[in-house]
Amino acid sequence: MVMRVLVRSRSGNLILAFFGAIYALSAIAVLGWFVVDVWMSGAMMDLLLQIALIAAAACGVWFLSIARQNLRGEHRAAHK
| Domain contains 35 | yes
Position 77 pLDDT exceeds 70: no
How many structural domains comprise the chain? 1
Give the residue from 71, 25, 75, 33 showing the smallest Cα distance to 50. Answer: 33
**In a domain? residue 34:** yes
- C-alpha dist (Å) from residue 70 to 25, 48, 51, 56: 21, 33, 29, 21
Cα separation, 66 vs 16, in Å, equals 8
In a domain, 43, yes or no: yes
70 within a domain of the structure (yes/no): yes
Query: The whole model's pTM is what?
Result: 0.75
For residue 80, tell me if it sits in a domain. no
Whether residue 57 lies inside any domain: the answer is yes
Range of the domain at 37: 23-74
pLDDT per residue as tens digits for the range 28-38: 999 999 888 88
Beta strands in the chain, from DSSP E residues, in sequence order? none
With b meaning 16 or more CB within 10 Å and e meaning fewer, what string describes 18-38?
eebeebbeebbeebeeeeeee
53 found inside a domain? yes
Mean pLDDT of the chain: 83
* Residue 10: inside a domain: no
